[in-house]
Each structure stands twice: as structure tokens, then as C-alpha cells.
Amino acid sequence: MTSEPPIFLDLKGHIETCLKRVHAHFGGAVIVDTRKAKLVWERKFYPQYYFPISDLPTKYLDDGSKQTTSEGLTMYDVVVGERRAKQALTVFGEAGGDRAGLFKIVFGSMDSWYEEDERVFVHPKDPYKRVDVLQSSRHVRIEVHGVEVANTHKPRFLYETGLPVRTYILQTDCRLDLLVPSDNLSECPYKGVANYYHVQSAPDKKAENVVWWYRNPNLECAAINGLLAFYDERVDVWIDGEKQTRPKTHFA
């Protein structure tokens, strides 16, 4: 008897050395720049950067903001001129277990992060994730509220470790007249920044934010540039004439 493989490789609690130079910038200053970073999986989905105490940016820490938690962790504001990132840096002391002697900086508190000289968005990249974009000749048809919005024999399937397969479709194979621009944006460290559309299938029927696309995707996903993807969990999809079961929503 076989069972389905896990959707995610659960590495929660795992710590390993990051082989890349990592640097973070805030307020025009380099807060940390090291080749000694660690990748720590605080949760199973992706890692966070941790750094040895020897790289602690003491000149940018406000001692007046120092707070010690009941777990023995010490937190500081990071300050550069008039810029302040509140409680952005945490030092793990002897009570920190496997993380003792390390510190971390809240990823979103910094202006920018880089691996070597390539910018990283949203969170550190997981070295155990892979993204492949494959050209296909399979027939894909998509409906929203019973109205066909896409029909193609030239889809590109994006396979990303641990996530449902996503289908990207040429705009010329989609009903662009049914798409309404949305202000919604999302970011992915592997693909880049996505823009969204609503689908207005009838005057009184709108499916919000069910289509996204990447105007300037990251190099490894350049093949999806300008193509449209539909949120399969909220639309009806047929592949080679077979209606697909809607996938469960997973963390992306």
C-alpha cells in the first residue's frame, strides 16, 4: 500500500550553513554583511537568516530599546539616523538552544536584502525548492461562472516544490475583455511581483483577484513573462477534456 507524499518537506527546527554572502540594508546603511549566515527553519515552509554574534551591528542598536523576554531573548530597535525599525533584531542567548549565540533580523523590517549581489524578496529562498516552467501542447480550458475565459493548446505549466501546479496562458488565448485591473499585488522570492485582475463574467458577477501575471518575472521564471495564471481553487479547469478537481489552498 502506498500513500501520497507530503506536500511540504518539513524542515522545522533544521539549521544549516548558508553558502552565500548575505547582506541587509536599512536607511542607507549596511546593517549586516557576512559569509557566515545560517538558514534556520522556524516553520516548515521556508527558512530565515540568522547570524553569529560576531556580526552583531552594535552601532545601529538602540540600547534604550533593549527588552529581554521571559525566554531569555534580547530584542533591540535598529536605528539609522531618523529611521527606526522597532524590535527588529533579536539576540539568542544561552537559553536559545540550537540558536544560542546567533541573532536574527526581521526580514520585512529592512529596506532590502541580497544574496551575493542579487536582491531577495519576501523571505530567504529555500535551497530545497525548485521551480520549473515547461511548455506543453495539452488543451487547457478555463471557465468562471460558466463563461469561458481561456482556451489554449500552448500552456506553460509551472511546477514549484510543494505547491499545486500553475498554468500560465498567452494573453491572446484569454478573454481580455472580461478582465478588470485590480490594485492587488503579491510578491514571490522565486517569481517576482505579480499584478492581478478580476474577472467580470456578467454585470452582476465578478470573481475578484482570480487572475495574476508577472510583468518582469525573475530570471529563473522568465518564461512566464506576460502570461496569465488563473486561481484554480476558484475557477473551473479542464485539461484535455477532463475537469480538474480543485486543489486545496496551500501556503505559497
For 35-71, what is each residue's pLDDT tens digit? 999 999 998 889 999 999 999 999 999 999 999 987 8
Is the pLDDT reported for residue 5 higher than 80?
no
84: DSSP letter = E
Among 19, 235, 1, residue whose Cα is nearest residue 124? 19
Average pLDDT (216-240) is 95
Is the pLDDT reported for residue 89 higher than 60?
yes
Share of the chain above pLDDT 70, in %: 94
Is 27 a member of any domain? yes
Grid cell of 250 as nine digits = 496551500
Exposure on the CB side of residue 178, measured as CA atoms within 13 A:
26
Could you tell me the residue range of the domain that residue 96 belongs to? Answer: 15-120
Is 7 a member of any domain? no
Average pLDDT (157-162) is 92
How much is the pLDDT for 44? Answer: 81
Grid cell of 54 as nine digits = 560576531
Is the pLDDT reported for residue 251 higher than 70?
no
Is the pLDDT reported for residue 91 higher than 50?
yes
Neighbours of 3 (CB within 10 A): 5
Instruction: Specify the amino acid at residue 109.
Output: S
Asked if residue 152 and residue 92 are part of one domain, the reply reads no
Is 137 a member of any domain? yes
Q: Which residues contact 239 (CB under 8 A, 6 or more apart)?
A: 138, 139, 140
Asked if residue 155 and residue 56 are part of one domain, the reply reads no
Average pLDDT (200-221) is 94
Quick: pLDDT tens for 92-140. Answer: 988 778 999 999 999 999 999 999 999 999 999 999 989 999 999 999 9
148 confidence band (pLDDT: 50, 70, 90): very high
Is 219 a member of any domain? yes
Asked if residue 189 and residue 97 are part of one domain, the reply reads no
How much is the pLDDT for 248? Answer: 67
How much is the pLDDT for 97? Answer: 85
Share of the chain above pLDDT 90, in %: 82
C-alpha–C-alpha distance, residues 50 and 103, integer Å: 6
The number of residues in the chain equals 252
Asked if residue 60 and residue 29 are part of one domain, the reply reads yes
CATH assignment at residue 50: 2.170.150.40
Average pLDDT (156-170) is 94
Asked if residue 113 and residue 65 are part of one domain, the reply reads yes
* Domain final residue pick, 99, 120, 141: 120
How much is the pLDDT for 252? Answer: 39
Find the DSSP H helices in the chain: none
Total domains present in the chain: 2
Is 250 a member of any domain? no
Q: What pTM value is reported for the model?
A: 0.81
C-alpha–C-alpha distance, residues 16 and 158, integer Å: 28
Is 226 a member of any domain? yes
How much is the pLDDT for 81? Answer: 96
Asked if residue 147 and residue 201 are part of one domain, the reply reads yes
11 confidence band (pLDDT: 50, 70, 90): confident
Is the pLDDT reported for residue 2 higher than 50?
no
Grid cell of 81 as nine digits = 539616523
Average pLDDT of every residue of the chain: 92
Is 8 a member of any domain? no
Asked if residue 167 and residue 103 are part of one domain, the reply reads no
Is 194 a member of any domain? yes
Asked if residue 201 and residue 233 are part of one domain, the reply reads yes
User: In a 3-state reduction of DSSP, which class is residue 146?
Assistant: coil
Asked if residue 100 and residue 155 are part of one domain, the reply reads no
Average pLDDT (139-145) is 97
Is the pLDDT reported for residue 3 higher than 80?
no
* Domain final residue pick, 120, 151, 178: 120
